[in-house]
């Protein structure tokens, strides 16, 4: 009788272990797909950084890169030379984008709120939508020519 109960318990733990491993693998796969689909991989390849600059820091921000929304997991730091962005998720290395790389594309909605879409690079590497609150904080650093 005891052997049967032990076997049942071990069987349940085995199933839970397999489900947990499958969940972790699925989560990692989806994260990699979103990272590549958003354009973050291209940003990280072209604008890599290994240090966090000194400057005004804005934590728990929400942005959209490409089609992927990063809600309340972004840190943005403004620096005289550019914008530092990091995402509190695996497979998202931080980036540092010079101000001269930004071009204004237009307006959109990000979680039902007004946002400004900027393109990065020429030719375009990615698009980033900033909610108006964050955009107003980085706006003074952007080039003051038409389109920005």
CATH number at 86 reads: 2.30.29.30
User: For the CA atoms of 138, 148, 74, 127, what is the dihedral angle to 10 degrees?
Assistant: -170
For the cut 60, the answer to whether the pLDDT of residue 76 exceeds it is yes
Count of residues making up the chain: 148
Q: What is the pLDDT of residue 19?
A: 62
Strands (DSSP E) found in 17-67: 56-65
Work out the mean pLDDT of the chain and round it to a whole number: 85
Q: What is the span of the domain harbouring residue 81?
A: 1-148
Could you tell me the pTM of the whole model?
0.76
User: What percent of the chain has a predicted confidence (pLDDT) above 70?
Assistant: 79
pLDDT at 15 over 60: yes
Q: What is the pLDDT of residue 36?
A: 52
pLDDT single digits (tens) 115-135: 999 999 999 999 999 999 999
Q: What is the pLDDT of residues 28-74, one digit of tens each?
A: 655 555 555 578 999 999 999 999 999 999 999 999 999 999 999 99
CA–CA distance, 108 with 28 (Å, rounded to integer): 29
Predicted pLDDT at 43? 96
pLDDT of residue 89: 86
- Quick one: which H or E segment has residue 85? strand 82-87
How many domains does the chain contain in total? 1
pLDDT tops 50 at residue 75: yes
Question: Contact at 8 Å (CB) between 132 and 87?
Answer: no
């Amino acid at each position: 009788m005891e052997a049967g109960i032990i076997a049942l318990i071990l069987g349940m733990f085995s199933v839970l272990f397999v489900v947990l491993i499958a969940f972790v693998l699925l989560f990692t796969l989806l994260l990699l797909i979103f990272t590549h689909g958003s354009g973050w991989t291209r940003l990280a390849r072209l604008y890599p950084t290994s240090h966090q600059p000194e400057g005004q820091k804005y934590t728990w921000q929400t942005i959209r890169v490409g089609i992927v929304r990063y809600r309340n997991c972004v840190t943005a730091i403004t620096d005289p030379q550019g914008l530092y962005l990091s995402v509190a998720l695996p497979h998202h290395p931080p980036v540092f984008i010079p101000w001269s790389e930004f071009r204004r594309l237009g307006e959109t909605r990000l979680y039902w709120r007004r946002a400004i879409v900027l393109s990065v690079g020429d030719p375009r590497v990615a698009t980033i939508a900033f909610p108006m609150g964050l955009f107003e904080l980085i706006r003074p650093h952007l080039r003051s020519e038409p389109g920005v």
